[in-house]
Amino acid sequence: MVSYVIRKLLYSFSVLFGIVTVVFLLFTALPGDPARLMLGQRADQSEVEMIRKDLGLDLPLITQYLVYLNDLSPLSFYNHLDENSPYYFESTEHERSKVILSGDNANFVLKAPYLRRSYQSQQTVTAIVMEALPGTAVLAVTAITIATVLGILFGIIGALFKGQWPDKLLMIFSIFGMSLPSFVAAILIMWVFAYLLGSITGLEVTGSLYVIDEFEGRKIVLKNLILPAITLGVRPLAVFMQLTRNSMLEVLSMDYVRTATAKGLSFRTVVMKHALRNALNPVITAISGWLASLLAGAVFVEIVFGWKGLGLIMLNALNTYDLPVVMGCIILVAVIFVVINMLVDVLYGIFDPRVSMS
């Protein structure tokens, strides 16, 4: 078991390393000069060169890459730990760091990963993404909850009414839900329920989880969560419904279900206690994967609905060429995705003896 977990950890680390490398090379190769964008097109060349030096953009590509890996690594090497160093990490991070080996010209420190600063606001990327992450997390968890509850319910109905009009209607919805892109579904749902029926539903075209009130300050507006969560949950709902239906049909045809029926148990007991419990295994498997996917897939939905989360932050950062923010958001989503999938794989190995650990 220990070797199985170690292999999964090494595999997850290699995936993250590959993602960081691809993201760095992709955004470093993009045309444009961040220093020029920060200062404006009429900025003096000497000022531009000063900013480029301060950001480390004047270094060779391989050196920039190694410095970026060093900043991300929890165990980092720094030539200097003073504010005059061009790669001095923030004082707040320095206070949380522990110098584990120190010399005249070198220091090894144990610290939190440093995602650098925003080119535009000069705020740390960690602070920016941590402020936006709760909005995305709430949206993803709400969407997966709606998709799970309705998907299982509709799947049971489809299996019990196989071949009849409820099953056919649900099948049409399932096919439509799986084939419709998220941003198209977002526009359609927003147009119908917020624009055409807005006076009836009371829902806004755009909105976020928090709003700033002049008298009450920041307050939560849960109705703004309804349309984005439904939109984001349409595709997993269709998948869960199909999985539940197919699995229920397979389980209902098994001998132990017929035996339970022959014993005189009620139809509700047979379906809920015997059939459904065994039919939910593939659905639970899909839920774990979709939760990680929704955190990444919420980008388009957040943009359409103006939801303040990682997606909107990434869009604004792309428009202003704020590469540290974009790279920080992508790396954070990748870490969440990899960690969730790694934990699921390990839990399968622990609780399901049919999963090979060799």
pLDDT tops 80 at residue 137: yes
Say whether 268 sits in a helix, a strand or coil.
Answer: helix
Residue 7: both structure tokens together = 């292999």
Residue 43's pLDDT is 64
pLDDT tops 80 at residue 98: no
58-72, 180-194, 255-269, 313-327 — which is least confidently predicted? 255-269
Give me the residue spans of the domains in the chain: 2-110, 125-351
With a pLDDT cut of 90, the percent of the chain lying above it is 6
* Residue 288 pLDDT grade (very low, low, confident, very high; cuts 50, 70, 90): confident
Which of these, 158, 161, 354, 177, lies nearest to 247 by C-alpha position?
158
**Domain 125-351 is in which class?**
mainly alpha
Residue 169's pLDDT is 92
How confident is the prediction for the chain on average, in pLDDT? 78
142-156, 200-214, 231-245 — which is least confidently predicted? 200-214
How many Å from the N-terminal Cα to the C-terminal Cα in the chain?
Answer: 9
Element (H, E) at 102: strand 98-102
Residue 150's pLDDT is 93
Say whether 181 sits in a helix, a strand or coil.
Answer: coil
Instruction: Mention every residue, 6+ apart, whose C-beta is less than 8 A from residue 329.
Output: 129, 132, 310, 313, 314, 317
Residue 142: both structure tokens together = 């709400």
Residue 31's pLDDT is 66
With a pLDDT cut of 70, the percent of the chain lying above it is 80
* Residue 355 pLDDT grade (very low, low, confident, very high; cuts 50, 70, 90): low
Distance CA 45, CA 31 (A): 18
Residue 91's pLDDT is 37
Contact criterion met (CB below 8 Å) for 79 and 104: no
Residue 223's pLDDT is 87
Instruction: Mention every residue, 6+ apart, whose C-beta is less than 8 A from residue 145.
Output: none
pLDDT tops 60 at residue 141: yes
Residue 273: both structure tokens together = 């206690």
pTM given for the model: 0.77
Per-residue pLDDT reduced to its tens digit, 13-41: 898 899 888 888 887 766 666 666 666 66
Instruction: Mention every residue, 6+ apart, whose C-beta is less than 8 A from residue 226.
Output: 203
Contact criterion met (CB below 8 Å) for 302 and 296: no
Contact criterion met (CB below 8 Å) for 278 and 251: yes
Say whether 110 sits in a helix, a strand or coil.
Answer: strand
Residue 294's pLDDT is 81
Q: Which residue has the tokens 């999964």?
A: 8
* Residue 59 pLDDT grade (very low, low, confident, very high; cuts 50, 70, 90): confident
Element (H, E) at 313: helix 310-319
* Residue 329 pLDDT grade (very low, low, confident, very high; cuts 50, 70, 90): confident
